[in-house]
Amino acid sequence: MEKVAHPSSPLSSSSDVVYRSLLQTDCFPFAYASTSAQRGVNMDRITKGIVDEFRESQSLQKLPDDKAFERLCNHCIVSREIEEFNVEDVSTGGGGDGGIDGLAIIVNNAIITTIDEIEDAAARSKYLDVTFIFVQAKTSDRFSASDVGTFAFGVKDFFSETPKLIHNDFITRAHKVQMAVFGRGSLFSRGKPHCKLFYVTTGKWLNDANVSARLQQGKADLEQLQLFKTVEVSALGADELHGLYQRTKHHFSVEFTFQNRVVLPEIADVSQAHIGVLPAKEFLRLIVDEGGALRRSLFYDNVRDYQGNTNIVNEQIALTLDSKSERGRFHVLNNGVTVVSKSLRNIGGHKFVIEDYQIVNGCQTSHVVYAMCAGNELAADAVHVPVKIIETTNDSITTAIIKATNSQTEVRREQLEALSGFQKKLEAFFETFKGDQRLFYERRLGQYGADSSVRKVRVITMLQLVKAFGSMFLDEPHRVTRSPSAVIDKLGKDIFSPDHHPLPYYVSAFAHYKIESLFRNQVLEPRYKSARYHILMAVRHMAAKVEMPYLNSKKMESYCGPILNVLWDEESAVDTFVKAARKVDRLSGGDLDNDELRTQPFVVKLLDRLGT
């Protein structure tokens, strides 16, 4: 089936008749005519099984093997750096990509896709901590030096102020973002950006000399640009990819020795608790993964982000660890780390296995210990870290510990909000919907990570819900895209207010799920992603057609009914989203990346066009 990209139509198929026939399938996505064999796909049975499982979990049933493989690679590699992201936001599409199949720009531990998001991150944190990730994924059982050369040249060209290669919409937008990043170099207080390249095939990596030489040449070329603090290049085969995929599915477990400890007295709803000191070598086992990288996901429940090495407290910690005379006193100078685990097993003597755990207090200490002791045996031998480890499966206990251990300083509001009663109410409300209407509200990152029965595309995070709700029910898509923190500041008042009816939140979540499904399966062109929140707002107004009651009103149920009827019916939903996208597109003059789109006057004009 031939695809067309016409500026007046958000559909990516060439015929409405053919498109309508796709609605009779399970997932109404764009149908590909080419088979895996025609595309030269070469996979072993294990890799093919993983691709099929990933495709099912992401509702990508109509995507051919080569494209599904690309997304699998992007998912596995980017997940090493950050857990909360949409794989479509890092997948470049086809053609005009410079040999780049995956591209992630991570700023301050979040995927950034627009210049507005950079400005918002800079305004909130006053610094930019940046990592660029590039992926080339080949469904071939061989490693090609020529492919590596094309890939490396494409990455280098991407960082040129005037690229020579022809770029598609995704790469063009990403290039504008990277230009904006380097245009704010004064905010690189933690150092220049990191750049990481991954070349992946379905074969077995045997350190091929020619491929390694091309990789190293690509690394040298990028280093000569003098734009990066570090440049890493890696070749991965099927075995390495299998390992990465398994780590995205399961909560990891770690074996460590905890000799210098005291068992705390019995506590209600706490299975066991220990307090003591861990040698830095043992503590690093808890926070460092198999590849030597810091397990960033451990600090999700720690409501204070890492403040960087310029923070005065962290400077003092680093000075202590760097001093041969002082590092031995570290455990009496530092408040320590609090770990909450759902499983802690003593396997004999002083040896333990810990699973499904979070560091809820001690983010700063952990980061600095990692920076100063990982790879430094002298420091690791001399340093001991005060640690409290608590095993409990009671969320209320975990919440109380988080609040108590983080009460000394200001914390991030959106993370404390995850601990509120309204969040639990929303989670329970989402559970009342069944079958195709079922969504899973993840008020804590990784909450459904180990549950293979849950399709990850049906999981919505708190930040995703905030953006969708702010767009649909507050009519603020411009704030969501231009200044997400401005919307987050509404938490507990205009968003997640205790007296709000939960139904609008579910409606927002399902609308978000629906539009992302259209993007994933290429029913809507990728260029509409920058206007996704405007489209969500338009969908509500088009489906409801009446004035919205107050968010705490019982009338909200009758108001949301017609919207859900549209969202739950595939043909009606697609028709409404298509029309909404067309309205936004026409009002923008076909330029969805225009800054005007992210202004209140544009939203006012759009609402007027919608008849509200």
Same domain, 528 and 486: yes
Grade residue 414 by pLDDT with cuts at 50, 70 and 90: low
What mean pLDDT comes out for the span 587-607?
88
DSSP 529: G
Kindly state whether residue 493 falls inside one of the protein's structural domains. Answer: yes
pLDDT in tens, 324-345: 778 888 888 888 899 999 889 9
Domain count, the chain: 3
What mean pLDDT comes out for the span 263-273?
90
pTM, full prediction: 0.70
pLDDT in tens, 523-571: 888 889 889 999 999 999 999 989 999 999 999 999 999 999 999 999 9
Token readout for 364 is 């700063």
Grade residue 451 by pLDDT with cuts at 50, 70 and 90: low
pLDDT in tens, 477-489: 988 877 666 666 6
What b/e string do you get for 568-603 counting C-beta neighbours within 10 Å, with b at 16 or more? eebeebbebbbebbbbbbebbeeebbeeebbeeebb
Kindly state whether residue 218 falls inside one of the protein's structural domains. Answer: yes
pLDDT in tens, 505-531: 999 999 999 999 998 887 888 889 889
- pLDDT for 203: 93
- pLDDT for 27: 35
Q: What percent of the chain has pLDDT over 70?
A: 85
Integer CA distances (angstroms), 32 to 15, 95, 555, 576, 592, in order: 14, 16, 44, 24, 27
What mean pLDDT comes out for the span 415-433?
77
Rounded to 5 degrees, φ, ψ at 137 are -120, 125
The residue from 248, 275, 300 where one domain ends is: 248
- pLDDT for 314: 61
Kindly state whether residue 553 falls inside one of the protein's structural domains. Answer: yes
Kindly state whether residue 391 falls inside one of the protein's structural domains. Answer: yes
Same domain, 259 and 193: no
Q: Which runs of E-coded beta strand occur in 68-226?
A: 102-107, 130-138, 194-201
Sequence-separated (6 or more) residues with CB below 8 Å from residue 558: none
The answer to whether residue 224 scores a pLDDT higher than 80 is yes
- pLDDT for 313: 61
- pLDDT for 357: 87
Whether 512 contacts 506, CB under 8 Å:
no
3-state SS record for 437-500: HCCEEECCCCCCCCCCCCCHHHEEEHHHHHHHHHHHCCCCHHHHHHCHHHHHCCECCCECCCCC
Kindly state whether residue 197 falls inside one of the protein's structural domains. Answer: yes
Q: What percent of the chain has pLDDT over 90?
A: 49
Same domain, 315 and 393: yes
The answer to whether residue 116 scores a pLDDT higher than 80 is yes
- pLDDT for 321: 75
215: containing domain: 37-248
For residue 237, how many C-alpha atoms fall within 13 Å in the half-sphere facing its CB? 13
- pLDDT for 308: 56
Whether 357 contacts 342, CB under 8 Å:
yes
The residue from 220, 248, 276 where one domain ends is: 248
What mean pLDDT comes out for the span 414-443?
81
Same domain, 196 and 305: no
Token readout for 349 is 């003597």
356-360, 367-371, 464-468, 523-527: which has the highest mean pLDDT?
A: 464-468
What mean pLDDT comes out for the span 358-362?
85
Same domain, 375 and 239: no
What mean pLDDT comes out for the span 292-306?
67
Q: Report the mean per-residue pLDDT for the chain.
A: 83
Number of separate helices (H) and strands (E) present in the chain? 24, 12
- pLDDT for 228: 96
The answer to whether residue 34 scores a pLDDT higher than 60 is no
Of 609, 534, 531, 518, the closest CA to residue 571 belongs to 518
What mean pLDDT comes out for the span 16-28?
34
The answer to whether residue 416 scores a pLDDT higher than 80 is no
Same domain, 501 and 564: yes
Using CA atoms, how far apart are residues 340 and 345, in angstroms rounded to an integer?
13
Same domain, 242 and 140: yes
Same domain, 427 and 337: no
Using CA atoms, how far apart are residues 597 and 308, in angstroms rounded to an integer?
34
3-state SS record for 238-295: HHHHHHHHHHHHCCCEEEEECCEEEECCCECCECEEEEEEEEHHHHHHHHECCCCCEC
Using CA atoms, how far apart are residues 307 and 223, in angstroms rounded to an integer?
27
- pLDDT for 367: 87
What mean pLDDT comes out for the span 168-178?
93
The residue from 411, 434, 467 where one domain ends is: 411
The answer to whether residue 91 scores a pLDDT higher than 90 is yes
pLDDT in tens, 35-72: 334 345 788 889 999 999 898 888 887 788 999 999 99
Angle between helix axes 45-57 and 65-78 (nearest 10 degrees) is: 80
Grade residue 419 by pLDDT with cuts at 50, 70 and 90: low
Grade residue 204 by pLDDT with cuts at 50, 70 and 90: very high
- pLDDT for 291: 74
Same domain, 330 and 464: no
Using CA atoms, how far apart are residues 428 and 440, in angstroms rounded to an integer?
9
- pLDDT for 421: 74
The letter for the amino acid at 150 is: T
Grade residue 250 by pLDDT with cuts at 50, 70 and 90: low
Kindly state whether residue 12 falls inside one of the protein's structural domains. Answer: no
Q: Which tops the pLDDT comparison, 527 or 151?
A: 151
Same domain, 399 and 274: yes
Kindly state whether residue 16 falls inside one of the protein's structural domains. Answer: no
Token readout for 444 is 């804590």
Grade residue 355 by pLDDT with cuts at 50, 70 and 90: confident
pLDDT in tens, 571-581: 999 999 999 99
Sequence-separated (6 or more) residues with CB below 8 Å from residue 539: 472, 511, 515, 563, 566, 576, 577, 580
Same domain, 307 and 441: no
What mean pLDDT comes out for the span 237-244?
91
The answer to whether residue 12 scores a pLDDT higher than 60 is no
The answer to whether residue 388 scores a pLDDT higher than 60 is yes
What mean pLDDT comes out for the span 492-517?
92
Same domain, 386 and 259: yes
- pLDDT for 342: 86
Residue with tokens 């959106």: 414
| Residue 35, helix vs strand vs coil | coil
Sequence-separated (6 or more) residues with CB below 8 Å from residue 378: 324
Grade residue 133 by pLDDT with cuts at 50, 70 and 90: very high
Using CA atoms, how far apart are residues 592 and 96, in angstroms rounded to an integer?
19
Kindly state whether residue 8 falls inside one of the protein's structural domains. Answer: no
